[in-house]
């Protein structure tokens, strides 16, 4: 029997466009190892993950805000949210399905990013508790942000005794459409308040032999480029500080890595990150073909983003590992299946495993 405890309280309240007030719930898991994870129903944000180091000292290792208002702010760069319908960038904000072109909302220059102006990061999810699982549900209406079809999504979150945080995504549609969901947590295993100085000490490895080449706007060109002999080769562990400033034509990593396995399984190893001083380790497993590795390049260099405990979040202060279908896959046939049809179910399972090493 699991020893994980799950509690809920109120995180805040908002007024929707109809003038109705909605209560935002917060769920808190605690396991026998002293790990605490918190999630809210607004945007499906993971607001806190507290993990002990090898000496038992506990730090919150994800960046975020103490109150709901923070998640409304312009400085909130998807800090821990559930992303959908379409994660990552879609070129020129257009998708074509069965000969019909749909114009999506353009919120990243001419391009579409992370579901648009009102993506899943800005909706209030319905919730249901089943034992230690929290299921967040949302009905995305036909042509919401330009996407065809009524889509119902269910995202299940769970913390285990083994300090694995599991996220399982499911979706069904009434019309052929595009669904590509992920989580956008920003991690710093030294602590959310430790900044780039500690982020640069992290050691990362990613199980990928290719990356999706991108243009100057971060849109895939269609080429899948081997990483061998390049700064993108993270199959052998590398210290982030040694490589992050050497990424060509970019202020750091913001690239989709093609996971090196032909048929993805739930427990396919994606990446490992280790912080030597604390001993904290994060391993990511997923059944998705890609993972976006992002080093917080577009966080500001000034003091404009203030998060938990008054901490200022700046460029390269945290990293993201976002399992997903290849970005812009809907516009590149050779990127794999990207269209969800009525009668099918979109599925995506990811596992974030935390532990310490000496």
CB neighbour burial string for 69-97, b if at least 16 within 10 angstroms, e if fewer: ebbeeeebbbbbbbbbbbbbbbbbbbbeb
- According to the annotation, is 89 in a ligand binding site? yes
The answer to whether 149 touches 346, Cβ cutoff 8 Å, is no
- According to the annotation, is 341 in a ligand binding site? no
- According to the annotation, is 334 in a ligand binding site? no
Dihedral sign, Cα of residue 297, residue 300, residue 306, residue 309: positive
Partnered with residue 103 across adjacent β-strands are 94
| Whether 275 is catalytic | no
Pick the catalytic residue from 184, 202, 275, 332: 184
The answer to whether 318 touches 302, Cβ cutoff 8 Å, is no
| Whether 322 is catalytic | yes
Partnered with residue 293 across adjacent β-strands are 255, 321
Pick the catalytic residue from 144, 145, 158, 322: 322
- According to the annotation, is 48 in a ligand binding site? no
Enumerate the known binding-site residues for beta-D-galactose. Answer: 88-89, 184-186, 254
Enumerate the known binding-site residues. Answer: 88-89, 184-186, 254
Catalytic residues: 184, 322
């Amino acid at each position: 029997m699991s020893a994980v405890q799950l509690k809920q309280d109120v995180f805040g309240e908002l007024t929707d466009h109809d003038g109705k007030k909605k209560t935002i719930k917060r769920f808190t898991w605690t396991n026998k190892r002293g790990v605490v994870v918190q999630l809210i129903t607004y945007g499906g944000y993971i607001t806190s993950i507290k993990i002990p180091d090898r000496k038992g000292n506990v730090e919150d290792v994800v960046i975020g805000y103490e109150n709901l208002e923070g998640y409304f702010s312009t400085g909130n760069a998807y800090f821990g949210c559930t992303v959908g319908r379409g994660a990552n960038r879609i070129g020129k904000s257009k998708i074509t399905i069965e000969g019909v072109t749909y114009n999506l909302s353009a919120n990243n220059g001419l391009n579409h990013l992370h579901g648009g102006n009102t993506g899943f990061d800005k909706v209030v999810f319905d919730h249901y508790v089943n034992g230690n699982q929290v299921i967040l549900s949302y009905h995305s209406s036909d042509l919401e942000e330009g996407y065809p079809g009524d889509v119902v999504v269910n995202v299940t979150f769970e913390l285990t005794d083994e300090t694995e945080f599991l996220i399982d995504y499911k979706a069904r549609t009434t019309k052929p459409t595009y669904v590509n969901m992920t989580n956008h947590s920003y991690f710093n295993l030294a602590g959310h308040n430790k900044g780039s100085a500690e982020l640069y000490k992290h050691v990362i490895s990613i199980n990928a032999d290719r990356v999706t080449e991108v243009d100057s706007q971060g849109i895939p060109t269609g080429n899948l480029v081997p990483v061998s002999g390049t700064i993108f080769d993270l199959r052998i562990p590398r210290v982030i500080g040694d490589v992050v400033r050497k990424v060509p034509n970019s202020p750091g990593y913001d690239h989709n890595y093609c996971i090196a396995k032909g048929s993805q399984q739930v427990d396919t190893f994606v990446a490992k990150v280790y912080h030597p001083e604390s001993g904290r380790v994060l391993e990511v497993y997923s059944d998705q073909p890609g993972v976006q590795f992002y080093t917080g390049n577009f966080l500001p260099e000034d003091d404009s983003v203030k998060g938990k405990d008054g901490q200022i979040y700046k460029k390269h202060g945290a990293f993201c590992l976002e399992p997903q279908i290849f970005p812009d896959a809907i516009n590149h046939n050779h990127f794999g299946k990207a269209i969800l049809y009525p009668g099918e179910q979109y599925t995506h399972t990811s596992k974030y495993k935390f532990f310490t090493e000496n």
